[in-house]
Structure 1
Amino acid sequence: MDVRQVIENFEKSFMADIIETVRKNEKRMIITIKPEAILRIAHYLYKTAGLRFIIASGLHTRRGFEIHYHFSKDDIGLILNLHVILDKDKPEIESLSNMFSASNWIEREMHELFGINFLNHPEQEKLLSEGNWAEGVYPYRKEFK
């Protein structure tokens, strides 16, 4: 299966969950999806399309809390980034830790630094601060005016 086929199959399968698609180049896509679709889509990418989970990254912007989930299909050189935007006031999303053990620590980091709640995470306790930060203090949150 080539890059075009992987993307076409993905878009057909999840058209209702896709908010925006941006092609960065021939082999790199950023697809913004509805947050509630993350488990179904990650499962599809891994089990059906054969992509592997690389890492996730989070940031706080004026739009809300954003997470980029990075996936790769190495044999064809595809990098696919799933992008979600979470509510500013209640940032939460389903955890991928039960599907990908590699997401465990990065979700814990995002929880501790941004206050993003990863639903059904197996162990969402502090990882970095060892309890040195006050409860409800998230050092990577920004105050937008």
Structure 2
Amino acid sequence: MSETEKIIDNIKNKFTQDILNTEVKSKRRATITIPGSALTKMADFLYSDMNFRFITASALESGKGFEIYYHFSNDKTGLVFNIHVVLPKNKPEIESLTCLFEAASWIEREMHEILGINFLNHPNLEKLISEGNWAEGVYPYRKEQQ
């Protein structure tokens, strides 16, 4: 069993009810899809129990809704692990990871500003890149704007 498969098994054992899908992309990269409600506890588990660090997050709008990938790395093993969540288009909101990782602040602000994803309990969702040039409620990376 590879190191990646061991980590997925560990997560499956701890979060049995929260796993929607797992995908091993390569021997050093995997993605696990969970409901947004499980994000904070899974991110904390990866960091506190599995020695992964938060790298960044990325988001996109798809036919499913708004998809966010939270990227984690274990520097000792070279593994990259992604937590994937899908948010509904009509209410794209999720708990902020700034309670665990201060480094999540800027990327969450950027996703909020360009896609309109609301990060609950974020300490500062002020505009980061537009300097107020975009009208309120206009999110330039949404498909409706293109």
TM-score for the superposition, normalised by structure 1: 0.94
Q: Which residue of 1 aligns with 2:96?
A: 95
Stretches (4+) displaced over 2 A = 2-7
Amino acid at match of 1:138: Y
Runs of 5+ consecutive residues of structure 1 not aligned to the other structure: none
Aligned identity (percent) is: 56
- Whole-Å Cα distance in 2 between the matches of residues 91 and 64 of structure 1? 8
Amino acid at match of 1:105: W
1:133 aligns with 2:113: no
1:53 aligns with 2:54: yes
> Secondary structure, in 3 states, of the residue corresponding to 2:102?
coil
1:83 aligns with 2:91: no
Query: What is the RMSD of the two structures over their aligned residues, measured on CA atoms?
Result: 1.3
1:93-137: CA deviation from partner (whole Å, max 9, x where unpaired): 000012111110000000000000000000011111111110000
Length, aligned pairs only: 143
Runs of 5+ consecutive residues of structure 2 not aligned to the other structure: none
> Secondary structure, in 3 states, of the residue corresponding to 1:76?
coil
**Contact 1:46-1:52 within 8 A present in 2 as well:** yes
> Secondary structure, in 3 states, of the residue corresponding to 1:105?
helix
Amino acid at match of 1:102: A
- Whole-Å Cα distance in 1 between the matches of residues 62 and 78 of structure 2? 30
- Whole-Å Cα distance in 1 between the matches of residues 123 and 100 of structure 2? 11
> Secondary structure, in 3 states, of the residue corresponding to 1:131?
coil
Q: Which residue of 1 aligns with 2:25?
A: 24
